[in-house]
Amino acid sequence: MSKTISGFSKLSKTEKIDWLTSTYFSNPEQAKYVLEQYANNDQKLQQLHDEFIENTISNYYLPFGVAPNFDINGKTYAIPMAIEESSVVAAASKAAKFWQSRGGFKATVLSTEKIGQVHFMFQGDKDRLQVFFEQIKPKLIDATKALTKNMEQRGGGILDIELRDKTEAIANYFQLHATFETLDAMGANFINSCLEQFAKTLKEEAEHYEAFSTEERQLQIIMSILSNYVPQCIVRAEVSCKVEELSDNKTIAAEDFAEKFIQAVRIAEVEPYRAVTHNKGIMNGVDAVVLATGNDFRAVEAGVHAYAARTGSYSSLSHAKVEHGVFTFWMDLPLALGTVGGLTKLHPLVKVALEMLGNPSAKELMQIVAVAGLAQNFAALRSLTTTGIQEGHMKMHLMNMLNQYEATSEEKSKLIEYFKTHVVSNASVEEAVAGLRR
Ligand code: MEV
């Protein structure tokens, strides 16, 4: 039986599901049941989700959790997080509580510039190209007026356009490298529309530029697209307290903890294998809030990791020090986020998430997201350098394991109680479940 189909997108949803389940599943009815189970009974809501993308056949749920008690710049937030990993929300909440009694988090937006590029090929005299560019620069900007009017009224728009010579990397390769201020919008559509207009103007003007040779007039546009690398769109998140305040009087003396913690950060600063995992922990917090607030987590991920490698060696995003008896832990993060446009007015849960945060500006959201990342990193390093990560992680994972064994509510409460004083592992859970059922 052929597994290829043409015109799939034109089929109705039921037809799509019928074809898929009969082609790829040993038990089509079972697959259909699950797809149907995840579809929403509210037709309007389902249609909204169907229309976000093409070929929707069901919904994919992630838990929508909340980490309360986050004090950021003197304001208290309950932070919404969309994530499947068991221990993330618990760790964030714990870190929030820890820092709430030690002055809270501080966050500052250091810059908000976004970048886009028109990549093109030009075979000819570089100086003539530069003169041409200077002459047409006002036209490049003028031709986007219809696109930039609203953004300019709000105080944003195109900041600058530069001509960049990239011929050392690729023969005849040049760029228009443009910078933008997109205020509360992530700005992808705005930037890409402006870039495509720049490209059009550039091509048209080159075709009629008298000083160009015939070859030079055939300037070739390759592509126009924003960059998800935003090293000039940076937010700083930090916490600090006196070293002696670091102790929770349980596991480790404050000075020893500060020392081990700083060593752990230093290791991530110099050792890429560790840095990737260290930064993954930061992204546990960052992505969960980015996703809950309807932002593009792939863009954030790509940009953040490029930033972490900006010196040529992949390194820790966060840093820590003790100076004059004060422990400081901080991180600068490149974040292009929006609180208008995109999914923000469309997805009902995104609206709830944003309202929970007090309908923040994009700048405020940058601060919240960076703090969630720093809190997550703090919680991970705290566990790693004291009890080890598995204790908390496996406790949180216990529920997943119990669900795998299809434990009843009664079994669950008995086993949760039991594992308060016993080590959680795959084997110990299996044994305890079996013991209870014997
Ligand atoms: C797990 O999702 C994240 C950690 O591995 C982060 C870290 O090692 O710092 C615990």
What kind of architecture, by CATH, is found in domain 64-111+234-387? Alpha-Beta Complex (3.90)
User: Of all atoms in ligand 1, which is nearest to the CA of residue 88?
Assistant: 2
Residue 420: pLDDT over 90: no
177-196 pLDDT, tens digit per residue, is 999 999 999 999 999 999 99
What pLDDT shows up at residue 9? 97
User: Of all atoms in ligand 1, which is nearest to the CA of residue 284?
Assistant: 2
**Cβ of 373 less than 6 Å from ligand 1:** no
346-395 pLDDT, tens digit per residue, is 999 999 999 999 999 999 999 999 999 999 999 999 999 998 877 777 77
Q: How far is CA 266 from CA 260, 316, 376, 384, 408, in A?
A: 10, 8, 17, 14, 46
Distance 278 CA to ligand 1 centre (A): 6
Distance 358 CA to ligand 1 centre (A): 30
- Check if 393 is active-site: yes
| Residue 278 · residue 377 · CB < 8 Å | yes
Distance 236 CA to ligand 1 centre (A): 21
What pLDDT shows up at residue 389? 76
| 223, β-bridge pairs | 119
Q: How far is CA 410 from CA 395, 397, 413, 416, 417, in A?
A: 18, 18, 5, 10, 11
Distance 280 CA to ligand 1 centre (A): 6
Instruction: Assign 173 to helix, strand or coil.
Output: strand
CATH of domain 114-227: 3.30.70.420
Q: How far is CA 344 from CA 40, 44, 315, 351, 354, in A?
A: 20, 17, 33, 6, 8
- Alpha-carbon distance 165 to 171, whole Å? 10
- Alpha-carbon distance 360 to 338, whole Å? 10
User: Of all atoms in ligand 1, which is nearest to the CA of residue 381?
Assistant: 9
- Check if 119 is active-site: no
The rounded percent of the chain whose pLDDT value lies above 70 is 99
**Cβ of 278 less than 6 Å from ligand 1:** yes
Domain with CATH 3.30.70.420 in the chain: 114-227
Domain with CATH 3.90.770.10 in the chain: 64-111+234-387
**Cβ of 380 less than 6 Å from ligand 1:** yes
Residue with tokens 């020392």, as numbered in its chain:
259
- Model confidence, pTM: 0.93
Collect all residues with Cβ–Cβ distance below 8 Å to 178 and sequence separation of at least 6. Answer: 115, 116, 117, 118, 158, 159, 160, 161, 162, 191, 194, 195, 198
Polymer length in residues for the chain = 438
User: Of all atoms in ligand 1, which is nearest to the CA of residue 281?
Assistant: 6
What pLDDT shows up at residue 249? 64
Q: Whose CA is nearest to atom 3 of ligand 1?
A: 281
What pLDDT shows up at residue 423? 87
How confident is the prediction for the chain on average, in pLDDT?
96
